[in-house]
Amino acid sequence: MRDSEPPGQPRLRHAAARTHGRYLVRTPETGAPWPLLIGFHGYGEHAAIHMDALTRTPGIETWLVAAVQALHPFYTRDQRVVANWMTRDDRELAIDDNLDYVGRVLHAIRDEFPTRAPLVFAGFSQGGAMAYRAAARFAADAVIVLAADVPPDVATQGVQLPRVLLGRGTGDTWYTADKQAADLATLHSRAARVESCVFDGGHEWTPPFHEAVSRLLAELQSAP
């Protein structure tokens, strides 16, 4: 018992637990090695939804694409299984767990498949925070984020980011113009290069954003 804790009261403790996550991988039809794009879905989605969004990008056929599913699954009202990256409870521990998970996925992909630079992380909504964190931790060449804040652990700790593409729909009532403006101000001091894509639409993937992603990936592949 810790001396500062009063007797007779419940005490919060934490114990590490082993769990398994899942991810989807789509290999190109072109010859290996391949550049690697790893994506993170939004709240209440799953890896297959995010894989579908990523693979609708023009020119993505030459990339090895992976969609990582969050470690916390739950049932929707219609009994579909979806997932969530974290809640406010034990947030710092969840960040560490998630980054360890991403590192294991990255290692497993590179161990199984022949890959090469560039490495790009992408995230939608709640998965955008994971994309920022992964890009800062694992030396990515770019990060693609749609409708998501820069998380405080990236924004306030002097973390350096690679090139960033940040998208927002004009009708998005959650990720507003003010939020994006604040994020852009933060990113300009944290990222190697920042590009904004504002399109007609809501909290969603749209063809204009897919086109912006396509241009970024093509530039990365053609860079010396």
Percent of the chain clearing pLDDT 70 (strictly above)? 99
Domain span including residue 218: 23-222
Answer whether residue 8 is part of any domain.
no
Whether residue 8 is predicted with pLDDT greater than 90 in this model: the reply is no
Separation of alpha carbons 206 and 74, rounded Å = 27
pLDDT at residue 202, rounded to an integer: 98
pLDDT at residue 6, rounded to an integer: 76
HSE at residue 1, side-chain half, CA atoms within 13 A, is 8
> pLDDT tens across 23-81, in order?
999 999 899 999 999 999 999 999 999 999 999 999 999 999 999 999 999 999 999 99
Answer whether residue 2 is part of any domain.
no
- pLDDT-based confidence at residue 2 (cuts at 50, 70, 90): low
Number of domains comprising the chain: 1
pLDDT at residue 162, rounded to an integer: 97
Answer whether residue 86 is part of any domain.
yes
pLDDT at residue 7, rounded to an integer: 81
Answer whether residue 183 is part of any domain.
yes
Answer whether residue 141 is part of any domain.
yes
pLDDT at residue 55, rounded to an integer: 98
Length of the chain: 224
Q: Which of 141, 148, 137, 156 is nearest to 99 (CA)?
A: 137
Give me the helices (H) in the chain, please. Answer: 47-54, 91-112, 126-137, 152-155, 177-188, 207-222
Whether residue 1 is predicted with pLDDT greater than 60 in this model: the reply is no
pLDDT at residue 9, rounded to an integer: 86
CATH code for the domain of 197: 3.40.50.1820
Answer whether residue 18 is part of any domain.
no
Answer whether residue 61 is part of any domain.
yes
> pLDDT tens across 90-136, in order?
999 999 999 999 999 999 999 999 999 999 999 999 999 999 999 99
Answer whether residue 3 is part of any domain.
no
**CB of 127 closer than 8 Å to CB of 39:** yes
pLDDT at residue 3, rounded to an integer: 61
pLDDT at residue 208, rounded to an integer: 98
